[in-house]
Structure 1
Amino acid sequence: MKKLILSLAIISAIFTGCSSSSDDAPVLATGDITGTFTANKTFAKGNYTLKGIVKVASGVTLTFDAGSTITCDKGTGDNAFVILNGGKAIMNGTASEPIVFTEKSEVPGSWGGIIMYGDAPIKGAGGLTTLLSEDGNSLNYGGTNAAHNGGTLKYVRVEYAGAKLADGQKENNGFTFYSCGTGTTLDHLVSYKGADDGYEFFGGTVSMTNAISYGNYDDAFDWQDGWQGQNNTNWYAYQEVKGNFGMEIEASGNNNTFFPKVEGVTLKRAAGCTPEDNASIEIDAFQFKKEGNGEFNNVIVDGYGTYTVNATTYNGAIVKIQDVTTNTNQVTGAKIKVTNTKISNTTQTTPIGATGSIVVSFPVGNFTTSTTTTGASLTAGTWASVKGASLIK
């Protein structure tokens, strides 16, 4: 009996000695993410290094666990995360543990951001249904698969993007979506301090919910090629230091019968924020050109005031129509609606044309104001914070 008791005591001591203290921090995974992935892979929660133009091939799913941080270094060359048409990225972050893509130097414009390709319908200049991407990858986009599914990006933040890749025609954005479809989930995303647009859509049918564009040098939100997302909600932009339009909206010169819809929009411009190019006058909340259109309801606009350059003062507007054709077909044709809008610290509080020859007159009910508008409704938290500072001002 004494031997049995002694044996049990020894076993108990062994297991007690081997148990982990509740204060021990978990060991996070590490490693490089590089090349083109041709087989499914899951990255456990960890701190990873992204090297080069990383691509997810068609038929392949790449999964990232919540709380992961993926860092690249512009000193090593071009970097970007690209989901090719037919590939999927599953990024299910959470409000308390977002998935973060960032860059070592923390300088805007240091990498190419997240780029997703699909085969949903587009309508490019001249009515073209396929085009070549301008991001440096030079890949075709466009197709007939309105339900394209590029995966799930949920609670994902992209920081310091906007670099030009290879011989790309222009800088990339925080998030770039080439003809992505309704099967793709875009929810609770943050584009933080990039050198180009926060988000840009090149055609497609995908929608985006609960999105923050913070401190991006060009436009907070931008699209072309007949993007027609129908279920967009809660878009929030805060422009500081440098920034152009809150939204730059065009349809590549096509008088489309369709248009995107966004419910709950907040566009804020900090005092002292100047256009990206000091010679430009891109200081309006909404700019429509090349047959751009859309419905926007429950909108807050604040801070789009005056800007002086070379002794000339320009007046920021709630809505600016850039060309006669857009005014005729989209405004008069009732394909642009900006309703229940609360406007403050903005010089032109009614829609105007870019020149005196463009006389803008919205049909009754298509441009309305409200004092009770709430704009984008977002819940603050870790997902919407950087270094402890909330991005929701």
Structure 2
Amino acid sequence: MKKFLLGLAIIGSVFTGCGSDDDTSVTPPATGTITGTITTDTTYPYGNYTLVGIVKIASGVTVTFDKGSTITCNKTTGDNALVVLNGGKLVVNGTASEPVVFTEASAVPGSWGGIIMYGDAPINAIGGVASSTSEDGNALPYGGTNAAHNGGALHYVRVEYAGAKLGDGTKENNAFTFYSVGSGTVLDHLVAYKGADDGYEFFGGTVSATDLISYGNYDDAFDWQDGWKGANNSNWYGYQTVKGNFGMEIEASNNNNAFFPTISNITLKRAAGTTPEVAGAIEIDAIQFKKEGNGNFNNVVIDGYGNYTEASVTYEGVGIKIQDAATNTDQVNASKIKVTNVKLSNTTHEVKGATDAISVSFPSGNYTTSASATGASITTGNWTTVNGASLIQ
């Protein structure tokens, strides 16, 4: 199999030449099957590939996909996912006009495991421990001391219809899942499209991400835990439709950390008629802080998080929800949560505790509103459309 794939790379290089700006629309696409553990550096030229099984990129190995490629799996073959093991690198060279798409043949949310990346950057997991075991079905250790861990570079990548359980994993996977990934990794212009769990989830680590779109994912648009502290995040756009829980679910595994992530330019929208993922789980707020979650957020647009009625009971949506008393005391009152320049519309409450016993009062300057807030600034192109429909609503 490896010889076959390397042959494809050589053939593809003959077709595409040396220039990175060659037009793939006039290049015959390569084809092939990607399976097993990849143990040698491999480049997949522009093409249409089939991914079969839980494909792993071994430590010390770099796997590269050229722009315009499509990688398709099929749930009828069993569990499928692309896993970057700690020490491995995934490089995806998509462009705004020719993104790289990872998808599943049935186009049903929850049909495969998406892209999962492991690193050895620091984490702070439950109990304050510096290492933990992944919940993705691979049951691999994550966490370390290498803050600058480099898992590669993802440019203009779309992951579709992910969210499947792998093996005996304890929960669904996400479109993109990052376990203790470090700041040397580049995450730029990514789309999580119609998955059955979160669009993006960070389990600790120091990686940052720019220009993210989360569209139509059943759980949260964005989620993190285990002390994630990415410091240079910007342009995050979440659009929830049909099913969806929180726009952002923010927690720190019950650790009162001295640090927090920073994100600027955020848009969170919830389409009319969107329901929670599971009946009885009333998760309808734009941003929920719990279990000592914190962060610094600026230029935030929130729209559509209004009331939801279930079994004749009406629940009121909130822009900023503080879920528990410890988070209110340790994070809000201690100025570890800052949400500034916020513009809200079609949302019932601006700021609220989960119960009447949680009285939320931000210190001066830590929560501010602005009618001129713009939210995410997404430059549109082929990468922001699916089947001709724009993802920016």
Q: Same fold (TM over 0.5)?
A: yes
**Secondary structure of residue in 2 paired with 1:318:** strand
Partner amino acid, structure 1, of 2:138: N
Partner amino acid, structure 1, of 2:236: W
Confirm or deny that 1:390 pairs with 2:387.
no
**Secondary structure of residue in 1 paired with 2:32:** strand
Q: Which residue of 1 aligns with 2:8?
A: none
Q: Which residue of 1 aligns with 2:213?
A: 212
Q: Which residue of 1 aligns with 2:361?
A: 361
Confirm or deny that 1:45 pairs with 2:49.
no
Once the two structures are TM-superposed, the CA of residue 297 in structure 1 deviates from its matched residue by 0.2
Deviation track 1:52-109 (CA, whole Å, cap 9, x = no partner) reads 0000000000000000000000011000000000000110100000000000000000
CA distance in 1 between counterparts of 2:193 and 2:270 reads 15
Partner amino acid, structure 2, of 1:180: V
Q: Which residue of 2 aligns with 1:231?
A: 232
Q: Which residue of 1 aligns with 2:142?
A: 141
Partner amino acid, structure 1, of 2:325: V
CA distance in 2 between counterparts of 1:89 and 1:280 reads 36
Based on CA coordinates, which of the two structures has the bigger radius of gyration? 1
Once the two structures are TM-superposed, the CA of residue 26 in structure 1 deviates from its matched residue by 2.6
Q: Which residue of 2 aligns with 1:169?
A: 170
Runs of 4+ in structure 1 deviating by more than 6 angstroms, as ranges, are none
Q: Report 1:80-119 matches (<5 A).
A: 80-119=81-120
Q: Which residue of 2 aligns with 1:242?
A: 243
Q: Which residue of 2 aligns with 1:203?
A: 204
Partner amino acid, structure 1, of 2:377: S
**Secondary structure of residue in 2 paired with 1:59:** coil
Q: Which residue of 2 aligns with 1:284?
A: 285
Confirm or deny that 1:312 pairs with 2:335.
no
**Secondary structure of residue in 1 paired with 2:55:** strand
**Secondary structure of residue in 2 paired with 1:126:** helix
Once the two structures are TM-superposed, the CA of residue 27 in structure 1 deviates from its matched residue by 1.3
- List runs of 5+ in structure 1 lacking aligned partners: 1-21
Q: Report 1:120-139 matches (<5 A).
A: 120-139=121-140
Once the two structures are TM-superposed, the CA of residue 280 in structure 1 deviates from its matched residue by 1.3
Q: Which residue of 2 aligns with 1:376?
A: 376
**Secondary structure of residue in 1 paired with 2:178:** strand
Q: Which residue of 1 aligns with 2:18?
A: none
Once the two structures are TM-superposed, the CA of residue 358 in structure 1 deviates from its matched residue by 0.4
Once the two structures are TM-superposed, the CA of residue 25 in structure 1 deviates from its matched residue by 4.2
CA distance in 2 between counterparts of 1:25 and 1:233 reads 35
Q: Report 1:332-351 matches (<5 A).
A: 332-349=333-350, 351=351
CA distance in 2 between counterparts of 1:26 and 1:319 reads 49
Q: Which residue of 1 aligns with 2:262?
A: 261
Confirm or deny that 1:274 pairs with 2:275.
yes
CA distance in 2 between counterparts of 1:334 and 1:367 reads 10
- TM-score, structure 2 length as denominator? 0.93
Q: Which residue of 2 aligns with 1:8?
A: none
Report how many residues are paired: 370
**Secondary structure of residue in 2 paired with 1:329:** helix
Deviation track 1:5-64 (CA, whole Å, cap 9, x = no partner) reads xxxxxxxxxxxxxxxxx9x94311000000000100000000000000000000000000
Q: Which residue of 2 aligns with 1:298?
A: 299
Deviation track 1:304-330 (CA, whole Å, cap 9, x = no partner) reads 000011211100001111100000000
Q: Report 1:12-23 matches (<5 A).
A: none
CA distance in 2 between counterparts of 1:155 and 1:363 reads 39
Identity of aligned residues (%): 71
Partner amino acid, structure 1, of 2:69: S
Once the two structures are TM-superposed, the CA of residue 278 in structure 1 deviates from its matched residue by 1.7
Partner amino acid, structure 2, of 1:378: I
Q: Report 1:320-331 matches (<5 A).
A: 320-331=321-332
- List runs of 5+ in structure 2 lacking aligned partners: 1-22
Partner amino acid, structure 1, of 2:196: A
